[in-house]
Structure formats: C-alpha cells, structure tokens
C-alpha cells in the first residue's frame, strides 16, 4: 500500500487559522473592543424569497408519490440547463444545453476537472491566486509554473510566448485581487491557447459583479474561446448559494484535443463519479433565473457593490493604490508605508479593530497587499471605513 505522496508536498494553509488566532488573542486582551470583520469571503445576505419558495415547493413534491424524484440526470435537469442557456444568450453566447453540466459548486468542478487531463501537462497559475488551483494540481503531481500578477500589470498577467503551458487558470473578476480582464486581455489568452493547443480553465464565479457590457463576463464572449476554454460558474456569490451548493461548468463541444471531445470525457467522468445535484437545489437555482429571482438577487449584488464602493472610495480619498472594488466584491490594496501584509493586518486590528486578509496568504506576489471584502453589513462597512480614514 502506498499513500499519495503528493499530499506531503502541500503547504499547510495557516492563513485563516492564524487570522482567527490573532483576532481571538486581541479580543481576549480587549474584551470591550468592537471588531469589524472585512475579511469574510462568504456572503451574508439570505436567499432571495423566490428561491426559498421554490425550495419549499420542491420539498413538498418530494413528499408526494406522484411527484417524488429519485436519482436525477447526472448532468443536471433540463429545466435548469435551459435557463442557463438563456442566460448565456443574453451575453450573445449560444450554448447547446448538453454543453452545460450542473454541479454542487465551482470548487468541486475546478478540482474534479483535472481527472480528464494527463499528468504531464504544464500548468500555469497566476500568483496571487485562489489556492484551490494550486493545491489540486499538487495533489495530482503536476508541474505548476506561476504567472506574475503585480502592480505593473494591474494584477492581470498576460501570456508570455516564451513560456509554454498546457493548462491555464484565469479567474476574472479575480479572487483575491478583484481585477477584471477586458476583452483585449482575454483575447490575448485565447489566442495564446489556440496557438499552443492549451486549455484555459476560466473561473467566472464572480461574473455577476461585472456591471459594464464592455467587460466580458464569460470567456465565450471572445471569439475562438469555445475551441480552447472550459468555464466554471457558481450560484454561490450570484445568489447566496454558498450553503445551498449549486454551480455549473461549460465544456463546449468544439473543444477537441488529440481527436477527443473533452465534453465527452467530462460527461464520462461525471456519470461515473457523480450522481447529480439534489432536485430541490436545482429547483432553487431555476428560480434564480425567473424575473422576480433576477430582481431579488440584483438587490443583494447591489448591496455588496455599494459596500465595495464605500471601501474603494476610501482608498481613493487616501491615495492608496488598489485593484478591484468596481466590478468585484474584493478590494486589493497596497499596504501603506511599505508594510508587509501581516504588519498591516496587526496595525489595522490593533489600531482600528478592523480585520482583513493578508495578501501573502494567496501567493508570493501577494505580500505587501491586503484584501478587504464587501460581503459584510453596510453600516459596519461605513464604520470600518471611518475608522480607517482616521487611522491612515
């Protein structure tokens, strides 16, 4: 018996446990302190009322013999895939509904998709980055190279023709930096992938925060992308499904490598290892696309976007360099006075009782940067920025 030794190569993530430990220590020493948490990556507003109604109705159906549902289609119910197809048509992206795969969230699919790729592929991951891309490849034993995201390129690295890679991760709007690629930027990646036969794994988990039609919210808005990209999306941030769990992945039929339609490999993978998302959850996700659902989720997205503006306006006022905050719930700021990420964390906690996330937790290039999020309460965000303004 052999263990998968690749797991030994994983770096322990101390980021959130260290934050929790430091905050607890501070709170124990300062019992009266009013701590505001702007580090949270989870949503805080409840599900939209139409979504809750849909869940109740679907639960009732499950309790009646005539409408009870057992195993559903592994790829997801047609009623939900059709809604997603219509949603993409609004972006002028025409998908076939069998190119859409419903899942229990983007994180699972981003990890599981690696099953369909050979182990000797070279993987390109931006730094800093959502840690799942790195860890899932380390678990499988793939070689990872990093694309530097930094102040010079606005945390939006572009392809380097001298560096050859087979699998490319792009997250836009980005977690943690909030940076968003424009059409030109994404086109450069698509052109690179087409030329080099690479596959782009495009994480669109935050697409709903894009407010301008000028910015692409799907990689398929770029010509040729269906021949080189898989897109991952989620209801988590769009509709508050972080605890309800639903997402989807698009594998276009045109995406062919070595004579194989990757869609068929993914279908085979899913039908073998996955038994579908609960009917109740898929009915909930369907309700998101109703007129009322769209209106109600927009209210929540608007709420978070206003928080993001409160934070980014403060950065503007203080002349602090940052990315994000405009088409993203994240604000990625340069720590003042050349402080390291952890120095700034301590400084903010000790002097303003604000908790954020040190950028160094997302990669080497994250040091000296800091992530604030807009998923909190509005009044608390205002209060936090008043304290920030006084301190900095």
Cβ(103)–Cβ(277) under 8 Å? Answer: yes
What is each CA distance from 129 to 117, 125, 136, 301, 361, in whole angstroms?
21, 7, 13, 23, 9
Residue 218 as a binder of ligand PLP (CB under 6 A): the answer is no
Residue 366 as a binder of ligand PLP (CB under 6 A): the answer is no
Residue 283 as a binder of ligand PLP (CB under 6 A): the answer is no
| Shortest reach from residue 34's CB to ligand PLP, in Å | 27
Binding range to ligand PLP, per CB under 6 A, among 105-113, 250-258, 279-287, 355-363: 105-113
Residue 354 as a binder of ligand PLP (CB under 6 A): the answer is no
Number of other CB atoms surrounding residue 156 within 10 Å: 20
Binding range to ligand PLP, per CB under 6 A, among 85-93, 99-107, 155-163, 277-285: 99-107
| Shortest reach from residue 339's CB to ligand PLP, in Å | 25
Nearer CB in complex with ligand PLP: 169/192 = 169
| Shortest reach from residue 234's CB to ligand PLP, in Å | 3
Cβ(267)–Cβ(96) under 8 Å? Answer: no
| Shortest reach from residue 245's CB to ligand PLP, in Å | 7
Nearer CB in complex with ligand PLP: 99/203 = 203
Cβ(241)–Cβ(116) under 8 Å? Answer: no
Burial class (CB in 10 A: 0-12, 13-18, 19+), 331: buried
Of positions 97, 121, 153, 242, contacts ligand PLP by CB under 6 A: 242
* Assigned token pair, 351: 């002097």
**Which long-range contacts does 318-321 make (Cβ < 8 Å, 24+ apart)?**
318/388, 318/389, 318/392, 320/392, 321/151
Size of the site for ligand PLP (CB under 6 A): 13
Binding range to ligand PLP, per CB under 6 A, among 18-26, 103-111, 218-226, 342-350: 103-111
Sequence-distant (6+) residues with CB within 8 A of 223 are 187, 190
**Lookup result for tokens 């490319």:** 168
In the chain, DSSP assigns E strands to: 36-37, 100-103, 122-127, 143-148, 167-171, 199-203, 229-234, 247-250, 256-257, 260-261, 322-324, 330-334, 354-355, 357-358, 369-373
Residue 107 as a binder of ligand PLP (CB under 6 A): the answer is yes
Residue 216 as a binder of ligand PLP (CB under 6 A): the answer is no
Of positions 236, 249, 314, 323, contacts ligand PLP by CB under 6 A: 236
Binding range to ligand PLP, per CB under 6 A, among 104-112, 136-144, 147-155, 281-289: 104-112
Of positions 170, 205, 250, 331, contacts ligand PLP by CB under 6 A: 205
| Shortest reach from residue 107's CB to ligand PLP, in Å | 3
* Assigned token pair, 105: 């969230």
Binding range to ligand PLP, per CB under 6 A, among 83-91, 234-242, 306-314, 366-374: 234-242
Burial class (CB in 10 A: 0-12, 13-18, 19+), 188: middle
Residue 281 as a binder of ligand PLP (CB under 6 A): the answer is no
CA distance 142 to 121: 7
Cβ(381)–Cβ(307) under 8 Å? Answer: yes
String of DSSP letters for 46-93: PPPHHHHHHHHHHHHHHTSTTT---S--TT--HHHHHHHHHHHHTTT-
Residue 371 as a binder of ligand PLP (CB under 6 A): the answer is no
Of positions 74, 203, 231, 286, contacts ligand PLP by CB under 6 A: 203
| Shortest reach from residue 131's CB to ligand PLP, in Å | 10
Residue 76 as a binder of ligand PLP (CB under 6 A): the answer is no
Nearest alpha carbon to residue 201 among 126, 127, 140: 126
Residue 105 as a binder of ligand PLP (CB under 6 A): the answer is yes
Residue 114 as a binder of ligand PLP (CB under 6 A): the answer is no
Number of other CB atoms surrounding residue 356 within 10 Å: 25
Contact characters 149-188, ligand PLP, x per CB under 6 A: ----------------------x---x-------------
Binding positions for ligand PLP, rule: CB under 6 A: 41, 105-107, 130, 171, 175, 203, 205, 234, 236, 242, 247
């Amino acid at each position: 018996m052999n263990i998968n030794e690749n797991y030994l190569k994983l770096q322990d993530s101390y980021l959130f446990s260290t934050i929790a430990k430091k905050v607890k220590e501070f709170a124990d020493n300062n019992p009266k302190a009013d701590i505001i948490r702007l580090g949270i990556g989870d949503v805080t507003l409840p599900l939209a009322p139409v979504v809750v109604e849909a869940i109740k109705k679907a639960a009732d159906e499950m309790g009646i013999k005539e409408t009870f549902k057992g195993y559903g289609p592994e790829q997801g119910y047609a009623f939900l895939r059709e809604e997603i197809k219509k949603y993409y048509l609004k972006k002028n992206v025409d998908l076939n509904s069998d190119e859409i795969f419903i899942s229990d969230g983007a994180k699972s699919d981003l990890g599981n998709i690696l099953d369909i790729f050979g182990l000797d592929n070279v993987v390109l991951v931006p730094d800093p980055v959502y840690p799942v891309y790195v860890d899932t490849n380390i678990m499988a034993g793939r070689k990872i190279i990093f694309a530097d995201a930094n102040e010079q390129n606005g945390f939006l690295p572009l392809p380097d023709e001298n560096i050859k890679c087979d699998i490319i991760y792009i997250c836009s709007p980005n977690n943690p930096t909030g940076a968003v690629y424009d059409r030109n930027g994404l086109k450069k990646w698509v052109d690179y992938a087409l030329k080099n036969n690479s596959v782009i794994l495009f994480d669109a988990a935050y697409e709903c925060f894009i407010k301008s039609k000028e910015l692409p919210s799907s990689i398929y808005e770029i010509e040729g992308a269906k021949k080189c990209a898989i897109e991952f999306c989620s209801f988590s941030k769009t509709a508050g499904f972080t605890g309800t769990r639903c997402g989807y992945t698009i594998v276009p039929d045109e995406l062919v490598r070595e004579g194989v339609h990757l869609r068929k490999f993914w279908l085979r993978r899913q039908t073998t290892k996955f038994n579908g998302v609960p009917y109740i959850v898929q009915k909930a996700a369907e309700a998101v696309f109703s007129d009322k659902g769209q209106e109600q989720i927009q209210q929540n997205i608007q709420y978070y976007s206003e928080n993001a503006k409160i934070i980014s306006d403060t950065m503007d006022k203080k002349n602090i360099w940052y990315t994000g905050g405009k088409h993203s719930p994240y604000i990625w700021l340069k720590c003042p006075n050349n402080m390291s990420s952890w120095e700034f964390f301590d400084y903010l906690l000790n002097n303003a009782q604000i908790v954020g996330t040190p950028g160094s937790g997302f990669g080497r290039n994250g040091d000296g940067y800091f992530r604030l999020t807009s998923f909190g309460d509005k009044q608390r965000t205002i209060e936090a920025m008043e304290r920030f303004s006084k301190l900095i």
